[in-house]
Amino acid sequence: MITLPQLTQCYLDLSPKMYHWLTSNGCDTSAAQDLIHESFLRVWRRKEQVASHSLPALLWTILRHLRIDAFRRLRPTLTLSDPVTESLLEPYVPDTLTPLDRAYLRRQINRALQSLPPVYRTTFTLFTLQRLPIKVIARQTMASETLVKVRLHRARQKLRLALSANGIRCA
């Protein structure tokens, strides 16, 4: 069980490091502060179940999970009018890119999409571009819902791998 003085000391020690980590990884200042406070509040609510020696590790784990959840809520989407020629991951593209950089990124994403096996590309396109639910995709492709989820997962993995091979970091 942890006490308030232990948690306070941990807050004084860890919060600057957590704040720096969050802001250097793309969080704005207010969101970073909210995530830090939420992680400490979650620990305090379950203070009876937390051992004092594991407090820093637990706080970092909670903070990482909160950060992931916050980014998932933003859910950047792939915007494609034509998957062969017009693809671009709009939310991931900084405004500072030149038209030449955007054209290069567009080409790399198109190549990655075209390198997917047809079954994965179809499933990924239906889910991401047409925003169809998994049940509908399963009916259209005559596959089970589980298989559709597996295909989506594998398509994302293959896209990440193909893009990272060309030096493009995916979120």
pLDDT at 83: 47
The values of phi and psi at residue 117, to 5°, are -60, 145
167 vs 93, residue with greater confidence:
167
Name the pLDDT band for 136 (thresholds 50, 70, 90): very high
Domains of the chain, start order: 4-74 (1.10.1740), 79-165 (1.10.10.10)
Among residues 109, 102, 100, the alpha carbon closest in space to that of 128 is found at 109
CB 117 within 8 A of CB 103: no
Q: How far apart are the first and last CA of the chain?
A: 37
In the predicted structure, residue 92 carries a pLDDT above the cut 90: no
H/E element, 150: helix 145-165
pLDDT at 39: 94
pLDDT at 79: 43
Quote the pTM value.
0.46
